[in-house]
Amino acid sequence: MQIYTRVGDKGQTKINGNYTVSKDSARVDAYGTVDELNSFVGLAASSPEAWPGLIEELHQIQQFLFDCGNDLATSNAKKYPYRMGQEPVDWLESLIDVYAVEPKPLESFILPGGTRLGSELHVCRTITRRAERVIVKFNHYLKESEDSQTYDTKRTESAENPHVQKFINRLSDYFFAVARVANHRLDKEDVLYERSGTVFHLDAKKADFDKHR
């Protein structure tokens, strides 16, 4: 297998359908950032502090992130059907609901950090947020190009897959929740932001993560 193709030497790359697009397009920025996130998830999964259930979850998240990248690199969903659906979003929400109630309730912001694993998961959370921003930007480009029905392939473009943005949005909540659990299980207290004040209002079952979304 030949690794290099020389296609990128002029600042271009291929997407699904063998279409050539510029490497600085919003589409490539979106799936490239998801690929970066996937690498950091792999790093967290390799942590010696990670427990077996977490490793299994992170590996599954990597599979879903690859699906997200596929869908972001697809301009013709009729020919190349999207892979992400609602089920991965529901799966994340079920995990968040379990993890959110394990550590003691939060009332204020916390600083990213704690254990090595907790810190790696917080890095995953912040890269997820960046991925979300570039995906939103890309989706805006798609909507703005609806009149001409083309974006960077100069061909008819399919509408974005909304499940990708939903999954990425929920994924940052997952990383926030599981980072707190990682610190809790290793007896490391979260460090509170000193000038935070009360920003979270919790019930007995579920944390309100709106300020971190």
CATH code for the domain of 26 = 1.20.1200.10
Q: For position 19, what pLDDT does the model report? A: 83
| 212/73 Cα distance (integer angstroms) | 28
Q: In the 8-state DSSP scheme, what is residue 32?
A: H
The answer to whether residue 12 is domain-embedded is yes
- Output phi, psi for 110, to 5 deg: -120, 160
Structural contact between residues 187 and 180, judged by C-beta atoms closer than 8 angstroms: no
Burial of 130 (0-12, 13-18, 19+ CB in 10 A): middle
Which residue type sits at 185?
R
Q: In DSSP terms, which residues pair with 21 in a beta bridge?
A: 13
Count of domains for the chain? 1
At what angle are helices 162-185 and 52-72 packed, to 10 degrees?
160
The answer to whether residue 146 is domain-embedded is yes
pTM beyond 0.85: the answer is yes
The answer to whether residue 176 is domain-embedded is yes
Structural contact between residues 158 and 104, judged by C-beta atoms closer than 8 angstroms: no
| 102/119 Cα distance (integer angstroms) | 18
From first to last of its 213 residues, the chain has per-residue pLDDT tens of 777 777 788 888 888 877 888 899 999 999 999 999 999 999 999 999 999 999 999 999 999 999 999 999 998 899 999 999 999 999 999 999 999 999 988 878 889 999 999 999 999 999 999 999 999 999 988 877 655 455 667 777 788 999 999 999 999 999 999 999 999 999 998 988 888 667 665 554 444 444 444
Structural contact between residues 114 and 179, judged by C-beta atoms closer than 8 angstroms: yes
Q: In DSSP terms, which residues pair with 192 in a beta bridge?
A: 110
The residue range of the domain holding 99 is 7-212
